[in-house]
Amino acid sequence: MKNIILIGFMGVGKGSVARELIKHSSYMAIDTDDLIESMENKKIKAIFENEGEAYFRKLEKNVAKWLEESVQNTLISTGGGFYKQKNLKKIGTVILLDSPFDEIIKRIKRHPNAVKKLKKRPLLADLKKAKELYDERRPEYLKLADIVVDVTKKSALDCAKEVLKKGKKHA
């Protein structure tokens, strides 16, 4: 089995879909943000505040190198900016979870932990800037994706099933 890499904008549901995917497949999963937080023993928000975004991107680069060299048969969920890693396509099959910006924000706000979800993401603090980031990134996400799954108004379980179905055809 090739690795599966989930990419997509902040809050689109990469974590939720990954959790459903592991329930319904034999994949084990890792998350690039979780790896970075445990390596640094710090939350992403604190890394951005104390060391800055450039430092965080360097950590993502180290993770990407390790993934390419050492990880197989794994479901990898990524932070929204991880797509910038030059070796992304060498890591595995790239699956974009896609949704319009407004739907992503609605999805976050609907969540019982909405305040926490917004707070932990420094790049979502200013929604106008976040929309600009979305507009800048979406064409790049689409260019990189081997498979696109539109997650709008779908449950995480349905998205996971779609990922597995489309992923099989691509493997």
Q: What is the contact surface with ligand S3P in residues (CB under 6 A)? A: 10, 14, 33, 44, 79-81, 121-123
Q: Which is nearer to ligand S3P, 1 or 122 (CB)?
A: 122
Which residue in the shown chain puts its C-beta closest to ligand S3P? 79
Which residue's entry shows tokens 């699956």? 95
CB of 73 to ligand S3P, least distance (A): 22
Q: Which is nearer to ligand S3P, 92 or 104 (CB)?
A: 104
Q: Which is nearer to ligand S3P, 59 or 162 (CB)?
A: 59
**In the structure encoding, which two tokens stand for residue 68, read together?**
């390419």
Alpha-carbon distance of 46 to 60, in angstroms, equals 15
Q: Which is nearer to ligand S3P, 44 or 105 (CB)?
A: 44
CB of 46 to ligand S3P, least distance (A): 11
| 131 bridge partner residues | none
CB of 168 to ligand S3P, least distance (A): 25
Alpha-carbon distance of 27 to 130, in angstroms, equals 32
Neighbours of 153 (CB within 10 A): 10
Residue 67, helix vs strand vs coil: helix
| DSSP secondary structure letter of residue 113 | T
CB of 43 to ligand S3P, least distance (A): 10
| DSSP secondary structure letter of residue 92 | S
CB of 143 to ligand S3P, least distance (A): 17
Which residue's entry shows tokens 């896609």? 98
**In the structure encoding, which two tokens stand for residue 40, read together?**
């640094």
State residue 97 phi and psi, 5-degree precision. -90, 115
Q: Which is nearer to ligand S3P, 1 or 57 (CB)?
A: 57
